[in-house]
């Protein structure tokens, strides 16, 4: 089994801690380990470092090698630019086919998710591996525990074997009432963004279902043949359609299955999510430094300073040397709008 970790994201929802030079996956949000270090470590019981690959941009190469020092440098797959998950996965599959047999399984996962129940995670990987070897496209559906509107959903159909269901439909992020119906129905799952298949199976699906991307990949392989794997492929990668693999492949495929899982997963998509996942005191405040709290509840404070809270509830405060974020928890998703304004105003020193 091969693991392919997608690590090219910029993490704009985690400004001001996340910047262009230190995206979310390289932050230490919950411990002394970065998100990408946690992701790699989670794989080690099943997959050794020689079979773990990381896809990212050239700008992140030093960060990856610094975070994962035992990763062979040839296990970096470099995208000229970010083009969403469909081009990223196609490029990775073509790269890996030069090093492995086509029937080798590929486990695709993001670099910046949290999984608490790692034993259950490992069990689901074993189930997925067997299904992938039978020419299925496998995804992992997170059993919802509330009507979330921030995730896409997978509608599960007939159980084809223990713990494995055919996929009936993929659903876009719903409104609250629709999400509530999904939760009550009991056969809808959050789309985790994790997948498994064999190299040959996924390349065949690109050929049949995403021929434009497949042709660009063929052109890239011609460049590799002529100039080697370190050659500049920008001219063939940049024009690719910017599509997620869900739309390019999974929504069109027939032999697609989902494994429903419940291992306390989070994509950690905002400062609010970090707050919810962080250890809290008796007042529900998450603060790592010495602090005094007077009539204050439910706050998340990221700083290296002493904190004093007075009559303050449900705030997120993130303190960095050159920028300070203060927001209500329910407005935390708007941090990406701040980043967009900084870009528009040309304040690049703060990005």
DSSP state letters, 219-250: HHHHHHHHH-TTS--HHHHTTS----HIIIII
What is the structure's pLDDT at 92?
A: 98
Could you tell me which of 2, 17, 113 has the C-alpha nearest to residue 318? 17
What is the structure's pLDDT at 10?
A: 75
| pTM metric for this prediction | 0.93
Q: How far apart are CA 157 and CA 159, in angstroms?
A: 7
What is the structure's pLDDT at 224?
A: 97
Residues of the chain with pLDDT under 70: none
Question: 304-333: per-residue pLDDT in tens?
Answer: 999 999 999 999 999 999 999 999 999 998
Could you tell me which of 91, 68, 330, 328 has the C-alpha nearest to residue 202? 91
Q: What is the per-residue DSSP string for 162-213? A: TTEEEEEEEEPPP-HHHHHHHHHHS-EEEEEEEEEEEHHHHHHHHHHH-HHH
Q: How far apart are CA 285 and CA 282, in angstroms?
A: 7
What is the structure's pLDDT at 14?
A: 94
Mean residue pLDDT of the chain comes to 95
What is the structure's pLDDT at 222?
A: 97
What is the structure's pLDDT at 333?
A: 87
For residue 279, the tally of other CB atoms under 10 A from its CB is 8
CB-side neighbour CA atoms (13 Å) of 141: 30
What is the structure's pLDDT at 201?
A: 98
Distant-in-sequence, close-in-space partners of 337: CB < 8 Å, separation ≥ 6: none
């Amino acid at each position: 089994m091969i693991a392919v970790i997608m690590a090219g994201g910029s993490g704009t929802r985690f400004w001001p801690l996340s910047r262009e030079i230190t995206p979310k996956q390289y932050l230490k949000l919950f411990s002394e380990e970065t998100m990408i270090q946690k992701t790699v470590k989670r794989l080690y019981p099943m997959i050794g470092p020689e079979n773990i690959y990381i896809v990212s941009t050239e700008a992140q190469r030093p960060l990856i090698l610094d975070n994962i020092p035992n990763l062979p440098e040839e296990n970096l797959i470099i995208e000229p630019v970010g083009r969403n998950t469909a081009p990223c996965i196609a490029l990775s599959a073509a790269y890996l086919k030069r090093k492995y047999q086509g029937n080798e399984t590929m486990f695709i996962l993001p670099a910046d998710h949290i999984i608490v129940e790692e034993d259950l995670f490992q069990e689901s990987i074993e189930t997925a591996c067997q299904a992938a070897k039978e020419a299925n496209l496998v995804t992992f559906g997170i059993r919802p525990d509330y009507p979330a509107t921030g995730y896409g959903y997978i509608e599960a159909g007939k159980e084809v074997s223990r713990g494995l269901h055919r996929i009936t439909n993929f659903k876009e992020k719903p409104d609250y009432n629709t999400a509530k119906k999904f939760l009550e129905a009991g056969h809808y799952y959050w789309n985790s963004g994790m997948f498994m298949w064999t190299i040959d199976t996924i390349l065949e699906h690109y050929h049949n279902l995403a021929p434009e991307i497949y042709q660009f990949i063929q052109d890239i392989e011609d460049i590799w043949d002529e100039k080697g794997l370190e050659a500049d492929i920008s001219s063939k990668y940049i024009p690719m359609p910017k599509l997620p693999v869900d739309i390019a492949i999974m929504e069109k495929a027939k032999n697609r299955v989902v494994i429903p899982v419940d291992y306390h997963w989070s994509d950690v998509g905002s400062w609010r999510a970090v707050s919810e996942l962080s250890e809290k005191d008796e007042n529900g405040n998450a603060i790592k430094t010495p602090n005094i709290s007077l009539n204050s509840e439910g706050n998340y404070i990221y700083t290296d300073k002493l904190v004093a809270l007075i009559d303050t509830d449900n705030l997120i405060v993130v303190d960095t040397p050159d920028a300070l974020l203060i927001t209500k928890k329910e407005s935390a998703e708007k941090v990406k709008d701040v980043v967009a304004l900084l870009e528009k105003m040309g304040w690049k020193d703060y990005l």
